[in-house]
A and B are shown apart, each in its own frame.
Chain A
């Protein structure tokens, strides 16, 4: 495993309406390192800036100031096309409202990142089926999103996020639109991906209970990180080597 963190942020700030009377600063001086294989949660009340932070991590938005390196590459100098490519290859998005494309079936939805990566149709379908199998949706691949339940949709969305084998999975309130039981199922899936596939997962949530399940909990309030706590080795998941790796990184 690499020594450099997957996500490395230094004094990142984000302002809107710069230079106008209603100038608004959302993020203040964020410094953040997330290592490969970590399962991190970012917690904060609504309006705390966690979504803005997620957009910046996901390269959908650029910081006003500060530096952000993804997998060791500084993102400041990248143009839109390069950002799109990195989003495509390095980041898997899971949204609260699933954001599956309506009227096209599960396989085609999962194929989407592969399509933009330029993979040929046949290989795309193969890979998509594999992923749907992984998330337990192997029997529903021809279903349209409208024919799937919330939990099923979210599992398809997770399969889609995994498509290009990204460095990080960015999950924005993935259980927010689900009931407790299906939410649980989705969380179990994240744990499975973390444990079995060794995925780096960043979970954005407003629920402290869900955050408790992760290795590390970062709390944001009013645009500042107010706490960054390692979870005490837990009941849910025995320690893996990723923990020692993280400790090494923390020691820097």
Chain B
């Protein structure tokens, strides 16, 4: 008798007593669904944290100057010539044009724009690179026109991005802001001219931070104006070689990954600073901080899972109990099968497979329930978050991520439970004396 026949036969005999089969499974179902629920929650928290982390700025590498490990000379502050320059960064990016980008937001101070004779609007000038609006950190949407492009930076164009709030402040309703040129009077007294190329929208959280809800007079709100980084640099009269920075954020595109990006940065700056006695460029990957949180979460998840898995043993004992009853009930059947030529192995296999199938089906149902629980809990968490901390809601993406490992391990474990607790009853059935079994009433 082959294996598939045995499985069919086991299914057939489980179908005969559906209620009992289900109740037997229940122990396994509860055990497995508990384990899967816990691991799904653990895994989802991890995934949500790391997503949120990336959203809030985890997705860039921070490059900074640091003293070399083997430096033994006198400690001193970094000199101008030791600093990372924009030229270096541009060179690095030029080597990997579609893989790396620089992420810069430089505050250029406040400026005022005359709205009319009596009112000057105060704005914050922010110099950014073209990649800035691609960052997941920047959740601002371009609602009109376009974002700052690479060409804007490279050719030092005088285009700027204004906000929806600014449009409300400065323009009449229905007036099209695109193409209008603004005059910015900087704190230093200089006047710069920028033409509006696009309008971006603030998020609710940002609007709150701007004080939209507290400040009565719309004109008092200081909005942000984005201008191309290189344009501002040129206006300040600096050359990219002179523009120094103590740190720089490097991001990577989908064509690259974090490890490759790190490699590129190391390659470039290690060579650049090879001859520098004191200084070198170090890379800080904020995502590494996540590693520790993940470890802690993993330990907690595994610990609770093991406790939940203990309930599987209870379920297994239930399976064994029912198998023993079932075998006693079917003593005559076993006798007949033996008289008809069934080998001990045939009988043993039949009952072991029955036990395994009970546990496996129970396991599958448990997995399904566990995953469903994950989604239900996520829905509840989302509802709670929306009512308690709605302003942060857009930064946090709740992700339900069932752990595949946990699913396979627990299915394997439930099969093992079936094997372990089904073997003894099956062995008893196999060892029955056919004459006694046939006579059993």
Contact = CB atoms under 8 A, between A and B. Distances in A.
Interface of A: 55, 58, 60-61, 80-81, 84-85, 87-89, 93, 95, 99-104, 112-113, 115-118, 121, 160, 164
Contacts of B341: 84-85, 87-89, 113, 116-117, 164
Contacts of A88: 340-341
Given A95-B438, A115-B5, A116-B1, A58 B339 contact: yes
Given A55-B435, A95-B438, A101-B333, A116 B346 contact: yes
Nearest to A157: B336
Given A99-B438, A116-B1, A93 B339 contact: yes
Interface in B344-376: 344, 346
A60 B435 contact: yes
A113 B343 CA distance: 11
Interface of B: 1-2, 5, 12-13, 16, 332-333, 335-344, 346, 434-435, 438
Contacts of A113: 340-341
B14 to A, nearest CB: 11
Interface of B is mostly: helix
Contacts of A116: 1, 337, 340-343, 346
Contacts of A95: 438
B429 to A, nearest CB: 14
B340 A93 contact: yes
Nearest to A81: B343
Nearest to B334: A101
Nearest to B333: A101
Contacts of A100: 336
Nearest to A160: B340
B335 to A, nearest CB: 8
- 10 closest pairs, A vs B, by CB? A88-B341, A116-B341, A113-B340, A103-B16, A99-B336, A87-B341, A112-B340, A84-B343, A60-B434, A93-B339
B433 to A, nearest CB: 9
A60 to B, nearest CB: 5
Q: Which of B2, B12, B340: most chain A CB closer than 10 A?
A: B340
Q: Which of B337, B338, B339, B438: most chain A CB closer than 10 A?
A: B339
8 contacts: A84-B338, A84-B341, A85-B341, A99-B335, A99-B339, A101-B333, A104-B12, A116-B343
A93 B438 CA distance: 12
Nearest to B345: A81
Contacts of B2: 118
Contacts of B336: 99-101, 112
A87 B339 contact: yes
Contacts of A160: 340
Contacts of A118: 1-2
Contacts of B337: 101, 112, 116
